[in-house]
Amino acid sequence: QVTLVESGGGLMQAGDSLRLSCRASGFTFSTNDMGWFRQAPGKEGEFVAAIAWNSRKSDYVEFVKGRFTISRDNRLNKVYLQMNNLKPEDTAVYYCAVVASSSRTPAYWGQGTQVTVSS
């Protein structure tokens, strides 16, 4: 079955950088678009970023553009989210997901990793 395992979360200070990783298994990773979503306390989940199966296209929500970068390694079945200049409002549980092609719709997601940013 599809398994996604996120790692790399932690307690950070505003302005810090952090890289999240997601290891995927149970499906053909190299032919699927992947994404990151997040859910802050008391709020609905929201799209953060997505990357095409061949890394030729990426998509970001406006409030992370210029700060976050999504990437992937199809040899390792991993997708990453590099987060720079973290802000307290980035505090959330971050989820890796398989997304429908060229969309922001998650099909499968992992258990999440907590990112907490203090001011």
Q: How far apart are the first and last CA of the chain?
A: 40
48, 35 Cβ separation under 8 angstroms: yes
pLDDT at 102: 80
- Residue among 10, 34, 14, 38 nearest 24 (CA): 34
Neighbours of 41 (CB within 10 A): 7
- What pLDDT digit, counting tens, does each position of 4-50 carry? 999 999 999 999 999 999 999 999 999 999 999 999 999 999 999 99
pLDDT at 22: 98
- What pLDDT digit, counting tens, does each position of 63-104 carry? 999 999 999 999 999 999 999 999 999 999 999 999 998 889
